[in-house]
Copies of this chain bind each other. A is one copy, B any other.
């Protein structure tokens, strides 16, 4: 028979799937001999049964009853026993911590009788007993019965007046209980349940049901947590922090989650229950001060913290309660930390001999490394923090507050640096967002329009700063404490922390970037800025490089970018775009090409471009030495090099009406632009199609590449044909290119982008004509989803994130189910057809931490990304190799 309930003595920390995170760690601590109140855990399996079948499994209630009876025997009291009640807390705990789910109901077992028994237990402390009772009704009412918490808060506030909650007398609290019971009756039409077992039963079911609360569903979608895991429920004997001044409750970290340094970090609140610390209803005291209040508990806590850190081999965070001088551990888990702390802690633990370097690499993430590469506010500087919002897009931005896009554009045009402040943004704010250094909103979460677009632009953004009262019409916002910021006032926003500061905070460049810019070597004199951090990064990067299987190349198309890419550790160029080489002054030549009326004129335009192209390639080949350089032949539609249809039409129409003048060439261009105008240029004449329709265009590029390679000893060009959908297209171009290479005596691989679904679906055929594939996952994502990346800022995109249709933009992180399925299929079928086929990826996903692991898993040879993302990709590639067999890591 299935077992649905585990005593804390039966579990351990590896059973998170079954017992949830909280339950597994309570069991672990119990087995370590730490002072955990007795209790048991109802498994996620029971929850899953309830959610799918609509009822609890057979025998479930009996099993719970047996465990409760055992708990009662152990405690020598029965649940809600009138004269000497056992009270319990009911706490949810899923595998992954999940806001949006019901969390905790304390003090279950109290009713009008047992409250008197609690008075007795507490040595006549009737204030404590009634306080506990009102807390039960309040929490139960809110989380189990679904009553709006404001009703209770309002009644409590009315009673308190200006006093603190600890100032309330027992009689007052007793009256409050009656008031609260009235609220329950009024709001639900039923009395508050007096039966202790019924209280517990309802609370357990409420935890089960909360798995499917809308907020929980949304959160899971966004975080890509499977919808069918279910949650566990922990039933724990109550211990009380609210028995008087010899009691209290607190949270602690085994080391500083901000810096990683060892020491005493935490907060303590006397005479309080757990939720009071979080709610911030009274001021907490620093954990150190507990030594003064209760030396024995303090020493015991420190010893336990050391034991936990050595046991978990990582920073732990802890919840504890002291009941009349007795310490109880209520929760522990591996604690969150800042990016810098993550690197420091990982290497510190290596030095302490607690973990290996392998493990250290898996303890840090590419996202954390990326955060360390942004400029940040000077930690030493004086700062006036006025509010905090959500850290939507990292970076540190300083500028004058402006409240409209128009004003942002206007001031930016005058050379001013501005921060665009809006209640929320919409597509009309795009120009303002582009003009601003950073974006600040008072509404909307990490998937709001502002957040999504800012991340897409790499622009600093703090969103959802709800403490701010923004008035765009009055061009000002008000922060807590009455601070008013009006248009033109300078503010500073930290996109990595969500903090908002008044005035200019000095910004410092990233010491980690400086390290990478030096080619990833430490200063010989050991005087690196932020030396501890940089040395930690250095150790971890070296080990990641030593262990990774995936190569890392760069997307770079200038000698400067190529050189930087090399310094940052690129093992070649995976994507050298040739489009920019047709812009600027050369646009003129492209116009000649388009306007060419015959073979001769066209060839003349191409001949003029060839030496320029050759020079471009020489520069890049020199920068890359003997590393491979994959050059993509020209991809985008011709009209991108031409004037805009609407602008030119207006200009010509006005000239025709006698306003202004246009040249003959402008008129010719308008005809050409009209001819080339496409409804959907992304789906039009571009890539290989251009090469097949304009004779000589690709040949000119291939010749320039070959000639350049001849002049740079050791150069290793690779020629990449863009946007094929059928092997026949590739064959046609390949033949011409191979002939030119043979003629020049240059050796180069010829391969193709896989960026249309059809190229992936027919990869077996395509591989017959390609020596390498490079997945162009930007285009592939566009085609697979049927939406244009150019139009990502369109209204529907942020709406989709809000609706949870995707948790993250598929242009940021590779969509494994759709796009990824094609990548996998093409990899398998391409390799089957040509076993030595080289495989890479060169979409933006190549530098995205969440996507690099997929690339590793699917067996690609390399990822290619922008130079600044190279360290991130190297680290993630190392992590992927190290955690290959660790399916549990997320």
* A729 on interface, CB distance cutoff 8 Å: yes
Are A683 and B791 within 8 A (Cβ)? yes
* A495 on interface, CB distance cutoff 8 Å: no
Which residues of chain B come closer than 8 Å to A819, judged between CB atoms?
758
CB-CB nearest in chain B for A678 = B791
* A485 on interface, CB distance cutoff 8 Å: no
Which residues of chain B come closer than 8 Å to A755, judged between CB atoms?
786
Taking a contact as CB atoms closer than 8 A, the residue among B723, B794, B822 that contacts A684 in the complex is: B794
From A675, A683, A819, residue with most partner B Cβ within 10 Å: A683
Q: Measured between C-beta atoms, what is the minimum distance from A787 to chain B in Å?
A: 5
Taking a contact as CB atoms closer than 8 A, the residue among B657, B683, B790, B803 that contacts A654 in the complex is: B657
> Digit string of A415-440 for contact with B (CB within 8 Å is 1, else 0)?
00000000000011000000000000
Are B726 and A805 within 8 A (Cβ)? yes
Which residues of chain B come closer than 8 Å to A684, judged between CB atoms?
787-788, 791, 794
Which residues of chain B come closer than 8 Å to A786, judged between CB atoms?
682-683, 723, 725, 755-758, 779, 783
Taking a contact as CB atoms closer than 8 A, the residue among B428, B645, B728, B795 that contacts A646 in the complex is: B645
Q: Measured between C-beta atoms, what is the minimum distance from A631 to chain B in Å?
A: 21
Which residues of chain B come closer than 8 Å to A791, judged between CB atoms?
678-680, 683-685
Taking a contact as CB atoms closer than 8 A, the residue among B659, B783, B788, B806 that contacts A757 in the complex is: B783
Interface residues of A in 622-676 (CB under 8 A from B): 645-646, 649-650, 653-654, 657, 659, 675
This chain's copy number in the assembly = 2
A427 to B762, alpha carbons, bound, how many Å? 30
From A692, A786, A791, residue with most partner B Cβ within 10 Å: A786
* A817 on interface, CB distance cutoff 8 Å: yes
Are B726 and A822 within 8 A (Cβ)? no
> Digit string of A715-727 for contact with B (CB within 8 Å is 1, else 0)?
0000000010110
Q: Which A residues form the contact surface with B (CB < 8 A)?
A: 221, 427-428, 645-646, 649-650, 653-654, 657, 659, 675, 678-685, 689, 692-693, 723, 725-726, 728-729, 732, 755-758, 761-762, 765, 779, 782-788, 790-791, 794-796, 799-800, 803-806, 815, 817-819, 821-822
Are A678 and B794 within 8 A (Cβ)? yes
Which residues of chain B come closer than 8 Å to A645, judged between CB atoms?
646
Are B758 and A818 within 8 A (Cβ)? yes
Q: Measured between C-beta atoms, what is the minimum distance from A776 to chain B in Å?
A: 10
Taking a contact as CB atoms closer than 8 A, the residue among B683, B693, B728, B761 that contacts A818 in the complex is: B761
Which residues of chain B come closer than 8 Å to A815, judged between CB atoms?
758
CB-CB nearest in chain B for A427 = B675
Are A806 and B726 within 8 A (Cβ)? yes
Which residues of chain B come closer than 8 Å to A805, judged between CB atoms?
692, 726, 728-729, 732
Identify the 5 closest CB pairs spanning chains A and B, nearest first: A683-B788, A758-B818, A679-B790, A680-B788, A756-B786
**Given A646-B645, A757-B757, A817-B762, A728–B682 Cβ distance below 8 Å?**
no
From A221, A427, A787, residue with most partner B Cβ within 10 Å: A787
Which residues of chain B come closer than 8 Å to A650, judged between CB atoms?
649-650, 653
Apart from A645-B646, A757-B783, A757-B786, 15 more pairs, CB < 8 Å: A221-B728, A646-B646, A678-B788, A680-B682, A684-B794, A685-B791, A685-B794, A726-B806, A732-B803, A757-B757, A757-B784, A757-B822, A758-B817, A758-B818, A758-B819
Which residues of chain B come closer than 8 Å to A784, judged between CB atoms?
725, 756-758, 761, 783
A150 to B732, alpha carbons, bound, how many Å? 31
Q: Measured between C-beta atoms, what is the minimum distance from A689 to chain B in Å?
A: 4
A755 to B229, alpha carbons, bound, how many Å? 32
Q: Measured between C-beta atoms, what is the minimum distance from A203 to chain B in Å?
A: 30
Which residues of chain B come closer than 8 Å to A427, judged between CB atoms?
675
A654 to B659, alpha carbons, bound, how many Å? 9
Q: Measured between C-beta atoms, what is the minimum distance from A644 to chain B in Å?
A: 9
